[in-house]
């Protein structure tokens, strides 16, 4: 027999975890054959080790949904009790993928604390990273999601941008909001940002921070300098995970090497860090995007031969 606890919950949170007339606790008892009790903001689970672990996993997922401010679906307990040990497996997450490369990318993200992913436009680099982060948030494996981008102009001079801080940086961060809005509805995104469960910021504002229990995504990583990449990767606190995405064929830096390209050389072989490489076969945008990528690759190859 083992005994495990969830402690120091607020009265309101404990009531929501227990459900109306302890309905959630009763459902867990009946499904797993464990003893579950709640008192003074503490929830106690006891019984055989495996069902106790499964019950704790369900309770932690339920708690994550509550803390995110989401409504608990009517079938939440039934679904969670039916598959408590399967939701972490790459096979169950594979339905997100539309190509073999994407499946491998998901597999790598599931098993490593730091993942750096390269690939051309339209391969789902950012979308799948955000999808994985939201999944981890809802599972209770992390407490917050941080998305950032370097504010680098893509070969254009935009000049002075009017407005407050938000108005100035919003154009650079818009693709990250787009990814969030594809996965969550508008009200969820708004609620998560208001509660600081989700944060979308320029890369420069990561300096000096240490982020624990967070899923941290750096988009457009090819446009970081070496110093910026090192700064970003060292923001990682206990219980956190990092994904860096970038397209090394679209580097907009002037006169400096890409921090993402350099990281490939420096971090090769470091335990816990993995690389994922997507290519034109993984493009999931309009069919013409793959043809456009191919045309530019052929042109670049011809220029190399004629140089």
pLDDT value of position 285: 72
Q: What is the pLDDT of residue 158?
A: 40
Give the pLDDT confidence score for residue 157 in this predicted structure: 44
| Residues forming CATH 3.40.50.300 domain(s) in the chain | 90-306
pTM of the model: 0.68
Q: Give span(s): CATH 3.30.1370.10, the chain.
A: 2-82
Do the strands 214-218 and 273-277 form a parallel or antiparallel pair, or are they unpaired?
unpaired
Q: Hey, is 245 helix, strand or coil? A: strand
- 216 contact partners, CB below 8 Å, separation of at least 6: 146, 147, 148, 232, 235, 236, 240, 241, 242, 243
pLDDT at res. 86: 40
The 114-118 sheet, strands edge to edge = 198-202, 144-149, 214-218, 241-246, 114-118, 273-277
| Residue 170: per-residue pLDDT | 60
Q: Shortest CA distance to 218 belongs to which of 196, 243, 186?
A: 243
Q: Tell me which fold the domain 2-82 belongs to.
A: Ribosomal Protein S8; Chain: A, domain 1 (3.30.1370)
* pLDDT one digit per residue (tens) for the chain, 307 residues: 899 999 988 888 899 899 888 989 988 998 889 999 999 999 999 999 988 988 888 888 788 778 766 667 665 666 555 544 444 444 456 668 888 889 889 989 998 999 999 999 889 999 999 999 998 988 888 999 999 988 765 444 444 555 554 555 566 677 788 888 888 888 888 888 888 999 988 899 899 999 999 999 999 999 999 999 999 999 999 999 999 999 998 998 888 899 999 998 899 888 889 999 998 888 887 778 778 878 887 887 777 655 5
Q: Which 3 state secondary structure label does DSSP give 46? A: strand
Q: For domain 90-306, give the CATH superfamily.
A: P-loop containing nucleotide triphosphate hydrolases (3.40.50.300)
């Amino acid at each position: 027999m083992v005994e495990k606890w969830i402690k120091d919950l607020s009265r309101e949170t404990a009531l929501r975890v227990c459900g109306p007339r302890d309905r959630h606790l009763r459902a867990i008892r009946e499904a797993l054959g464990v003893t579950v009790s709640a008192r003074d903001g503490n929830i106690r689970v006891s019984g055989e080790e495996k069902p106790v672990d499964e019950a704790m996993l369900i309770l932690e997922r339920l708690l994550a949904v509550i803390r995110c401010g989401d409504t608990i679906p009517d079938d939440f307990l039934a679904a969670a009790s039916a598959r408590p040990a399967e939701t972490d497996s790459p096979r169950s997450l594979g339905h997100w993928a539309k190509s073999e490369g994407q499946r491998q990318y998901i597999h790598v993200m599931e098993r490593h604390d730091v993942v750096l992913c390269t690939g051309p436009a339209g391969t789902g680099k950012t979308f799948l990273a955000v999808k994985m982060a939201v999944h981890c948030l809802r599972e209770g494996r992390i407490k917050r999601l941080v998305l950032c981008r370097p504010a680098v102009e893509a070969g254009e001079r935009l000049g002075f941008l009017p407005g407050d801080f938000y108005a100035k940086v919003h154009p650079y961060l818009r693709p990250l909001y787009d990814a969030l809005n594809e996965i969550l509805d508008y009200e969820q995104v708004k609620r998560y940002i208001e509660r600081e469960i989700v944060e979308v910021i320029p890369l420069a504002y990561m300096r000096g921070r240490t982020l624990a229990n967070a899923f941290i995504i750096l988009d457009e990583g090819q446009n970081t300098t070496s110093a910026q990449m090192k700064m970003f990767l060292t923001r990682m606190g206990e219980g956190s995970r990092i994904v860096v995405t970038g397209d090394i064929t679209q580097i907009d830096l002037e006169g400096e090497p890409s921090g993402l390209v350099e990281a490939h050389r420096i971090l090769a072989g470091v335990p816990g860090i993995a690389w994922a490489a997507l290519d034109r076969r993984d493009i999931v945008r309009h069919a013409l995007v793959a043809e456009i990528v191919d045309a530019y690759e052929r042109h670049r190859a011809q220029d190399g031969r004629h140089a």
